[in-house]
């Protein structure tokens, strides 16, 4: 900071020389990443918005003619139901991850730093296994003649095997177990920042543990909770691999519909319109987030 001020107060020639001395390295360092982001993020995003307002041609091509037809199709009951269901499932996943993840993150955050680091690493390791193979394991466990059904029948809890596979509950189990770390990590880092002295002060002033939790801990860790909501809700809304693996093509969410529009069905404008819908939801949540926290503080890694 002090350096920047010093620069500002110096003469113009100095500043020009400084610019020349710094412009080249700045370009060499920030240039590639900027170019990459503009070419492969900004440009495609703008382009997909453009496509969503185009017509669908006879043989699945895109006709350059302005229309809002694709957006009207989204309100069609067939699609609208899928959108609503995806939102519901994503919301359920988010709530489940928060409820399961908060105590877990709290538990880790109260441990000494080196032990906590190891516990966090222990969360990450299962996620280096191919995600589809992990989902496949759930399928193996819950299939009609699988261990879970065998156990239930052995224990006399059910006479006939329960059809778990290709149902929404199994897809939700897959989603929650897949998304849990994305809730735990931001929750952990916000709980970890919480100062012990505040909690002690609260209890010294006569607050019960419950009061301390609801009045001090929860409000102060709210940025972490909101990060968790974003990092769980948005991907769950667009994911199609979980519903493909565990839903066997019978359980359809927004992600599956988008994928199909760009695959077999070939209705690009409709797929683009659905993508824009996801973009708008994402943008809205991020806007809310930036109202009370900085985007840079979102713990994404």
Partner 1 sequence: MRARSKTARRKRTVGFLGDLYAILIYTVLYIPVVVMMAFSFNDQRYNYYWNGFTTKWYGYLLENDALIGSLWYSIVIAVLATVISVVVGTLGALGLKRFEFHGKKMINSMLYVPIIVPEIVLAVALLILFMNVGMSLGMGAILIGHCTFCIPYAVVTIKGRISGDGNSLEEASMDLGANRIQTFFRVTLPSIFPGVMSAAFLSFTLSIDDVVMSNMLAGARNTTLPVLILSMNKAGVTPDVNALTTIMIVVLVAAMLLSNGVKALLRRRERRLERGE
- When binding is defined by CB under 8 A, the residue of 74, 89, 98, 135 that contacts partner 1 is 135
Radius of gyration of the chain (CA): 25
Query: In 3D, which of 236, 282, 274 has the Cα closest to residue 89?
Result: 236
**Please, which residues have CB within 8 angstroms of residue 71's CB and are 6 or more apart in sequence?**
52, 273
Q: Name the minimum Å distance from CB 132 to partner 1.
A: 5
Q: Considering the complex, what minimum distance in angstroms separates the CB of residue 140 from partner 1?
A: 6
Taking CB under 8 A as the criterion, which residues in 36-95 touch partner 1?
A: 36-38, 40-45, 47-48, 51
How far apart, in whole angstroms, are the C-alpha atoms of residue 258 and residue 278? 10
HSE on the CB side for 133, CA within 13 Å?
5
φ and ψ at residue 169, rounded to 5 degrees: -55, -40
- Binding to partner 1 in span 241-260, by CB under 8 A: 241, 244-245, 248-249, 255, 258-259
Residue 55: beta bridge partners? 63
Q: Please list the alpha-helical segments (H only) found in the chain.
A: 2-9, 12-37, 43-52, 69-74, 77-109, 113-124, 131-142, 147-154, 168-193, 196-204, 209-212, 218-220, 222-238, 241-247, 254-262, 268-292
Of positions 191, 237, 251, 273, contacts partner 1 by CB under 8 A: 237
CA distance from start to end of the chain = 28
Q: Which stretch binds partner 1 (CB under 8 A): 71-79, 128-136, 158-166, 217-225?
A: 128-136
User: Considering the rule CB under 8 A, would residue 29 count as an interface residue with partner 1?
Assistant: yes
Task: Give me the least distance between CB of 215 and partner 1, in Å please.
Answer: 19
Of 185, 234, 270, 273, the one binding partner 1 by CB under 8 A: 234
Beta carbon of residue 105, minimum distance to partner 1 (angstroms, whole number): 10
Q: Binders of partner 1: how many residues, by CB under 8 A?
A: 85
DSSP code at position 56: E
Q: Which is nearer to partner 1, 98 or 180 (CB)?
A: 180
Distance in Å, CB of 282 to partner 1, minimum? 5
Distance (Å, rounded) from C-alpha 41 to C-alpha 204? 52
Residue 38 or 218: which CB sits closer to partner 1? 38
Which stretch in 20-28, 154-162, 191-199, 218-226 sits in contact with partner 1 by CB under 8 A?
Answer: 20-28
The least distance separating partner 1 from the CB of residue 33, rounded to whole angstroms, comes to 3
Question: Which residue's CB is nearer to partner 1, number 86 or number 221?
Answer: 86
CA–CA separation, 55 vs 70, rounded Å?
8
With CB under 8 A as the contact rule, the residue among 82, 87, 95, 141 that binds partner 1 is: 141
- The single residue among 26, 163, 265, 288 that binds partner 1, judged by CB under 8 A, is 26
131 binds partner 1 per the rule CB under 8 A: yes
Per CB under 8 A, contacts with partner 1 among 259-278 are 259, 262, 268, 271-272, 275, 278
Q: By CB under 8 A, is residue 100 in contact with partner 1?
A: yes
The Cα 226–Cα 183 span in angstroms is: 9
Site for partner 1 in 174-203 (CB under 8 A): 177, 180-181
3-state SS, residue 60: coil
In 3-state terms, what secondary structure has residue 55?
strand
Residues in the chain: 301
Residue span binding partner 1 (CB under 8 A) among the ranges 152-160, 187-195, 211-219, 293-301: 293-301
């Amino acid at each position: 900071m002090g350096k920047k001020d010093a620069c500002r107060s110096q003469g113009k020639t100095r500043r020009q020389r400084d610019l020349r001395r710094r412009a080249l390295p700045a370009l060499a360092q920030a240039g590639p990443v900027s170019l990459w982001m503009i070419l492969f993020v900004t440009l495609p995003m703008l382009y997909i918005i453009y496509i969503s307002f185009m017509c669908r041609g006879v043989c699945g091509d895109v006709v350059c003619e302005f229309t809002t037809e694709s957006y009207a199709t989204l309100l069609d009951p067939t699609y609208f139901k899928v959108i609503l269901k995806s939102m519901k499932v994503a919301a359920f996943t988010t709530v489940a991850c928060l409820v399961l993840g908060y105590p877990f993150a709290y538990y880790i955050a109260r441990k000494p730093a080196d032990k906590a680091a190891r516990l966090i690493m222990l969360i990450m390791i299962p996620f280096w296994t191919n995600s589809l193979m992990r989902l496949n394991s759930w399928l193996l466990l819950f299939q009609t003649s699988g261990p879970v059904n065998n156990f239930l029948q052995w224990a006399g809890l059910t006479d006939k095997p329960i059809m778990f596979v290709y149902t929404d509950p199994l897809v939700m189990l897959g989603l929650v177990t897949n998304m849990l770390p994305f809730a735990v990590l931001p929750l952990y880092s916000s709980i970890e920042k919480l100062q012990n002295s505040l909690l002690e002060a609260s209890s010294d002033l006569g607050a019960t543990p419950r009061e301390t939790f609801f009045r001090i801990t929860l409000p102060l860790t709210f940025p972490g909770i909101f990060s968790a909501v974003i990092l769980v809700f948005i991907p769950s809304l667009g994911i199609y691999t979980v519903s493909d693996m565990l839903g066997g093509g019978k359980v359809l969410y927004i992600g599956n519909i988008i994928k199909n529009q760009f695959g077999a069905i070939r209705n690009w404008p409709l797929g683009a319109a659905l993508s824009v819908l996801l973009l708008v939801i994402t943008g809205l949540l991020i806007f809310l987030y930036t109202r009370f926290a900085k985007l840079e503080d979102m713990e994404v890694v």
